[in-house]
A and B are shown apart, each in its own frame.
Chain A
Amino acid sequence: ETGVTQSPTHLIKTRGQQVTLRCSSQSGHNTVSWYQQALGQGPQFIFQYYREEENGRGNFPPRFSGLQFPNYSSELNVNALELDDSALYLCASRIGTEETQYFGPGTRLLVL
């Protein structure tokens, strides 16, 4: 157990809709990263938040956005869903720049 939880575990949406995925980290974990993992591929970095500010972003369009809250929870929001957004979404948290990141179990999103 990593102490990182994600909700929901599974989600089905239709193209064009909006979705919010949630991640709850361990107390004190003020850095959270989000990854998208398509079937059969490795995870791809979406963005990272540190103390409620985005401080790093991968090659994802602005319709992928996030929030981090003072209670060590965070959200990933995706607008105007596309079929290719179907994937497993993982969050990972850590304390500051410590090297050990703790991954949640993921949310599997299916866009029809």
Chain B
Amino acid sequence: KQEVTQIPAALSVPEGENLVLNCSFTDSAIYNLQWFRQDPGKGLTSLLLIQSSQREQTSGRLNASLDKSSGRSTLYIAASQPGDSATYLCAVLRDNYGQNFVFGPGTRLSVLP
């Protein structure tokens, strides 16, 4: 059974810092891995999607890496801003048919002005 964990559970940083969020998964047989952002009480916004054959994806100040063999992914946020404050969730997809995402518990990020 796939299990996804995220470290740290919460993080508070001053504006402008670079930071790394970590995600680990127990079963390396994944189809893809996605990072999502969730604002309080709201739905999910997809940030980055990494296919199982890829090593990293970049979008603006965000960079996500994937090491499938070790069951790890990191989300790097450069030059953090107060607007980045949210919960960040990673999710792995075993296949693209009847099964669906297995989510981690999330990292709650606060960026202080």
Q: Which A residues are closer than 8 A to B by beta carbons?
A: 2, 4, 33, 35, 40-45, 48, 55-56, 58, 88, 90, 92, 97, 99-101, 103-106, 108
Contacts and interface: CB of A to CB of B under 8 A. Distances in A.
A44 B3 CA distance: 11
Given A33-B100, A55-B97, A106-B41, A100 B105 contact: no
Contact of A88 (B41, B46, B99, B105): B41
Contacts of A44: 103
A55 B96 CA distance: 12
B42 interface: yes
A100 B96 contact: no
Interface string B2-46: 001000000000000000000000000000100000000111111
B4 A42 contact: yes
B100 A56 contact: yes
Contacts of B96: 97, 99
B109 to A, nearest CB: 14
10 contacts: A42-B91, A43-B89, A45-B100, A55-B98, A56-B97, A56-B99, A58-B100, A99-B49, A101-B46, A103-B43
A92 B45 CA distance: 11
Nearest to B9: A40
A45 B102 contact: yes
B98 A2 contact: no
A68 B101 CA distance: 20
Contact of A42 (B46, B89, B100): B89
A104 B105 contact: no
